[in-house]
Amino acid sequence: MNCRECTEHLYEFLDRELTPQVEQEIRQHLADCPPCGEHFDFEKLFLDFLRARCRAHGAPAELKLRILRELFDE
C-alpha cells in the first residue's frame, strides 16, 4: 500500500469501517511511514476532541420528567 492509497482510507480506518484485511495493510503502512503515521494520529486526535467537546451535555432533567409525565401520566 502506498501513501495515497493509505490516505484515501483515512476516515474509514479511524471510523473502523474497513475489513480486517485492509485495516491490517494500513497498520503496516503506518508503522513503516512516519509522515502518514503523524497524519493519522492528528486526525484521530481531532475526532476524539470533537466527540469530547460535544458529548458534555445531555438532555435537561426537566425534559425527561416532562416526557415521563406525558407518556405514563405520572
Partner 1 sequence: MGHGMASTPTPPPTPTPAADADKRASFEREALVHLDSLYRVALRLTGNPAEADDLVQETMLKAYRAWHQFEQGTNAKGWLLTILRHAFINEYRRRTRHPETVDLDAIEPFSVFEELQDDDPQGTFFDRIVDDEVLRAIDALPEQFRETVVLSDVEGLSYEEIARVLEVPVGTVKSRLFRARRMLQAKLYDYAVGMGYIKGSST
Interface contacts to partner 1, rule CB under 8 A: 11-12, 15, 17, 38-39, 42-43, 45-47, 49-51, 53-60, 63-64, 66-67, 70-72
Q: Are 6 and 33 in contact (CB under 8 A)?
A: yes
Q: What's the min distance (Å) between Cβ of 8 and partner 1?
A: 10
| Residue reference for cell 467537546 | 53
CB nearer partner 1, residue 21 or residue 74: 74
Does an H or E element contain 53, and which? helix 34-54
Q: Give 74's contacts (C-beta < 8 A, 6+ positions apart).
A: 68
CB nearer partner 1, residue 4 or residue 51: 51
Crossing angle, helix 20-32 and helix 34-54, to 10 degrees? Answer: 120
Q: What's the min distance (Å) between Cβ of 44 and partner 1?
A: 10
Q: What's the min distance (Å) between Cβ of 56 and partner 1?
A: 5
